[in-house]
Amino acid sequence: MRLLVTGGAGFIGKNFIRLVHELRPAWRVTNLDALTYAASLCGLPDDSERYRFVRGDIRDPKAAAWAMEEQSAVVHFAAESHVDRSILSSGEFVSTNVLGTQVLLDTARRLGVPTFIQVSTDEVYGSLGVADPPFREDTPLAPRSPYAATKAAADLLVRSYHETHDMDVRITRCSNNYGPYQFPEKLLPLSIVNALHGRRIPIYGDGRQRRDWIHVKDHCRAILTVLENGQPGEVYNIGAEQETENLAAVRAVLRETGASEDLIRFVSDRPGHDRRYAMDASKIRKELDWEPRYRFDEGLAQTVAWYQANESWWRPLLGEDYQAYYQTQYGAR
Ligand code: NAD
Ligand code: DAU
Tens digit of each residue's pLDDT (9 = 90 or more) over 28-75: 999 999 999 999 999 999 999 999 999 999 999 999 999 999 999 999
Measured in Å, residue 143 CA sits from the centre of ligand 2 at 14
Tens digit of each residue's pLDDT (9 = 90 or more) over 237-281: 999 999 999 999 999 999 999 999 999 999 999 999 999 999 999
Calculate mean pLDDT across residues 212-240.
98
- Any bridge partners for residue 85, and if so which? none
Q: Is 215 left (phi over 0), alpha (psi -120 to 50) or beta?
A: beta
Query: Ligand 2 pocket test: which of 11, 76, 83 has the largest number of ligand atoms within 8 Å of its C-beta?
Result: 83
Q: Residue 310: inside a domain, yes or no?
A: no
- Residue 123 appears among annotated catalytic residues: yes
**333 vs 330: CA distance, rounded Å:** 5
Ligand nearest the Cα atom of residue 13: 1
pLDDT of 332: 86
Domain assignment of residue 131, given as a range: 2-183+213-243+276-295
- Any bridge partners for residue 12, and if so which? none
Q: Residue 23: inside a domain, yes or no?
A: yes
Calculate mean pLDDT across residues 210-228.
98
Atom of ligand 2 nearest to the CA of 122: 1
What percent of the residues of the chain are helix, what percent strand, and what percent coil, each to the nearest 5? 45, 20, 35
**71 vs 69: CA distance, rounded Å:** 6
CATH of the domain at 27: 3.40.50.720
**N residues, the chain:** 333
Contact 238, 174 (CB under 8 A): yes
Residues near 78 by Cβ (< 8 Å), separated by ≥ 6? 6, 7, 10, 13, 32, 33, 34, 58, 96, 100
Tens digit of each residue's pLDDT (9 = 90 or more) over 72-85: 999 999 999 999 99
- Band (333; pLDDT cuts 50, 70, 90): confident
Measured in Å, residue 233 CA sits from the centre of ligand 1 at 22
Q: Is pLDDT above 90 for 321?
A: yes
Q: Residue 10: inside a domain, yes or no?
A: yes
Does the Cβ of 101 fall within 6 Å of ligand 1? no
Angle between helix axes 100-111 and 146-165 (nearest 10 degrees) is: 20
Ligand 2 pocket, CB under 6 A? 81-84, 121-123, 175-176, 186-187, 190, 202-204, 209, 211, 246, 270, 277
Q: How far is CA 258 from CA 35, 136, 193, 250, in A?
A: 34, 38, 13, 12
Q: In 200-220, which positions are buried (b, 16+ CB within 10 angstroms) versus exposed (e)?
A: ebbbbeebebbbbbbbbbbbb
Our count of domains for the chain comes to 1
**100 vs 47: CA distance, rounded Å:** 25
pLDDT of 301: 98
Tens digit of each residue's pLDDT (9 = 90 or more) over 88-123: 999 999 999 999 999 999 999 999 999 999 999 999
Q: Residue 115: inside a domain, yes or no?
A: yes
Nearest CA to ligand 2 atom 30: 187
Q: Residue 322: inside a domain, yes or no?
A: no
Query: Ligand 2 pocket test: which of 211, 263, 276, 327 has the largest number of ligand atoms within 8 Å of its C-beta?
Result: 211
Nearest CA to ligand 2 atom 14: 83
pTM for the full predicted model = 0.99
Residues near 227 by Cβ (< 8 Å), separated by ≥ 6? 73, 75, 115, 117, 170
Q: Residue 332: inside a domain, yes or no?
A: no
Q: Single out the catalytic residue among 51, 125, 147, 178.
A: 147
Does the Cβ of 176 fall within 6 Å of ligand 1? yes
Calculate mean pLDDT across residues 23-30.
98
- Residue 262 appears among annotated catalytic residues: no
**227 vs 246: CA distance, rounded Å:** 32
Q: Residue 56: inside a domain, yes or no?
A: yes
Q: Residue 324: inside a domain, yes or no?
A: no
Tens digit of each residue's pLDDT (9 = 90 or more) over 168-215: 999 999 999 999 999 999 999 999 999 999 999 999 999 999 999 999
Strand ranges in the chain using DSSP code E only, listed in sequence order: 2-6, 28-33, 51-55, 73-76, 115-121, 168-174, 177-178, 201-204, 210-212, 214-215, 235-238, 243-245, 264-267
Mean predicted lDDT score pLDDT of the chain: 98
